[in-house]
């Protein structure tokens, strides 16, 4: 059976981008057709300035939201990354496999390190090594497929390179994984600035739909989305990014095709209204289920404890094998 791994980092409230780009597929497809592991990757939240209490809170919230969205602990394994030591153990071996040059080329590192420098904070070393830890997350489970949004493709490519290099040098150890992404909405853009990704770590909230926004807030944000000059509704990501983004979101929310949908609209206003209605309906059950689950923290805690135990059982033999392959003396 195919192995699937993916994760979400608790650096902010989960967004519509996270949902359409990744989480919805985990729920609707991945957990049903494979042996799937999903993780709240909290160690990754420490790579930039962070508030400890907020990371704790957001980790619990992210796990609760993933369950609310429909991850079923009977079908998949849901756990918190820091509860499974194997990630950090394997990350070190992969640091001894990766080079400084290939990590400095990562687009997210280049963008985020500039931001960290500009804000006067130093650039944490872990920001540079972040993709190596991500590779460890994936490789520790013999993962075949990694369902992610478009922004993570480069990191999965690096993961493949590291797996191949390790296998060539030290003998066949890791499965070489591949990224999968949704046909539409692999990159949901910010509603106020449709040339940048809708990202949960951005400070400004007006262009970001959060999964826990109430219906009125979702409507307001979508109705105020920046559209392009021009009036015709056409699907063109290059010259009409604002309208294309709304069409992508509407298509994803209604299982439609963005180009075909464009033909049915004579004005931006009607498109915004239908998009807002569709997103409100899409998120309603998630928000309702989240409220129920948040009232039962014992249940979420139990799911995460069981998930971590299962994940450990899967990762340990493989990581132990990697330790031996690279030449470290076995302890036992």
Give me the residues paired with residue 40 across strands.
8, 80
DSSP string across 272-319: HHHHHHHHHHHHHHHHHHHHHHHT-HHHHHHHHHHHHHHHHHHHHHHH
Query: Which one of the listed residues 200, 221, 272, 273 is annotated catalytic?
Result: 200
Answer yes or no: is 189 a known binding residue. no
Which is nearer to ligand TYM, 161 or 299 (by Cβ)? 161
CB of 41 to ligand TYM, least distance (A): 4
Is-contact 157 103, C-beta < 8 A? no
What is the distance between the alpha carbons of residues 87 and 41, in angstroms, rounded to a whole number? 10
Strand order in the sheet with 76-80: 76-80, 35-40, 3-8, 145-147, 178-180
Answer yes or no: is 201 a known binding residue. yes
CB of 56 to ligand TYM, least distance (A): 17
H or E element in which residue 64 lies:
helix 52-69
CB of 8 to ligand TYM, least distance (A): 4
Distance of CA 212 to the CA centre of its chain: 17
200 is a catalytic site residue: yes
Which is nearer to ligand TYM, 98 or 186 (by Cβ)? 186
The C-alpha angle 2, 179, 77, rounded to 5 degrees, equals 45
What residue ranges bind ligand TYM (CB under 6 A)? 5-9, 17-18, 21-22, 41, 44, 134, 137-138, 146, 148-149, 151-152, 155, 186-188, 197-199
Side-chain-side CA neighbours of 6 within 13 Å: the count stands at 29
Which is nearer to ligand TYM, 41 or 78 (by Cβ)? 41
Which is nearer to ligand TYM, 148 or 250 (by Cβ)? 148
Which is nearer to ligand TYM, 156 or 280 (by Cβ)? 156
Maximum pairwise Cα distance, the chain: 71
273 is a catalytic site residue: no
The C-alpha angle 265, 268, 270, rounded to 5 degrees, equals 60
CB of 51 to ligand TYM, least distance (A): 17
What is the distance between the alpha carbons of residues 21 and 154, in angstroms, rounded to a whole number? 15
Answer yes or no: is 149 a known binding residue. yes
CB of 143 to ligand TYM, least distance (A): 8
Answer yes or no: is 199 a known binding residue. yes
Closest CA to 2 of 144, 136, 173: 144
Closest CA to 9 of 137, 176, 144: 137
Answer yes or no: is 272 a known binding residue. no
Tokens 């046909």 -> residue: 183
Which is nearer to ligand TYM, 226 or 299 (by Cβ)? 226
Is-contact 208 200, C-beta < 8 A? yes
Contacts of 131 (CB under 8 A, 6+ apart): 98, 103, 106, 108, 109, 155, 158, 159
2 is a catalytic site residue: no
CB of 131 to ligand TYM, least distance (A): 8
Query: Which one of the listed residues 112, 221, 272, 273 is annotated catalytic?
Result: 112
Phi/psi at 160 (5° precision): -60, -45
Tokens 């994760």 -> residue: 7
Q: Which residues are documented as binding site for L-tryptophan? A: 137
Catalytic residue annotation: 112, 197, 200
Q: Which residues are documented as binding site for ATP? A: 9-11, 17-18, 149-151, 188, 197-201
């Amino acid at each position: 059976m195919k192995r699937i791994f993916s994760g979400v980092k608790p650096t902010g409230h989960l967004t519509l981008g996270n949902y359409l780009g990744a989480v919805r597929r985990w729920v609707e497809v991945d957990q049903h057709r494979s042996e799937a592991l999903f993780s709240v990757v909290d160690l990754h939240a420490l790579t930039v300035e962070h508030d400890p209490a907020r990371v704790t809170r957001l980790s619990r919230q992210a796990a609760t939201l993933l369950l609310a969205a429909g991850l079923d602990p009977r079908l998949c394994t849901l756990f918190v990354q820091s509860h499974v030591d194997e990630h950090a153990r394997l990350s070190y071996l992969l640091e001894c496999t990766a080079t400084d040059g290939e990590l400095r080329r990562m687009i997210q590192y280049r963008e985020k390190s500039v931001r960290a420098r500009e804000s006067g904070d130093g650039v944490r070393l872990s920001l540079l090594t972040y993709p190596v830890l991500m590779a460890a997350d994936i490789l520790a489970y013999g993962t075949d497929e990694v369902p992610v949004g478009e922004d993570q493709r480069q990191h999965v490519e690096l993961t493949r390179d590291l797996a191949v290099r390790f296998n060539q040098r030290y003998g066949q150890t890791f499965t070489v994984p591949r990224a999968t992404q949704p046909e539409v909405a692999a990159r949901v853009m910010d509603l106020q600035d449709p040339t940048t990704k809708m990202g949960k770590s951005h400070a400004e909230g007006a262009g970001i739909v959060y999964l826990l926004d109430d219906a009125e807030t979702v409507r307001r944000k979508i109705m105020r989305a920046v559209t392009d000059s021009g009036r015709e509704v056409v699907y063109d990501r290059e010259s009409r990014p604002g309208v294309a983004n709304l069409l992508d979101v509407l298509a994803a929310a209604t299982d439609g095709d963005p180009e075909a949908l464009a033909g049915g609209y004579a004005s931006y206003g009607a498109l915004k209204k239908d998009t807002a209605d569709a997103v409100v309906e899409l998120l309603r059950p998630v928000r309702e289920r989240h409220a129920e689950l948040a009232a039962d923290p014992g249940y979420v805690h139990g799911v995460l404890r069981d998930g971590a135990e299962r994940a450990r059982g899967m990762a340990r033999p493989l990581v132990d094998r990697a330790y031996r392959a690279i030449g470290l003396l076995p302890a036992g």
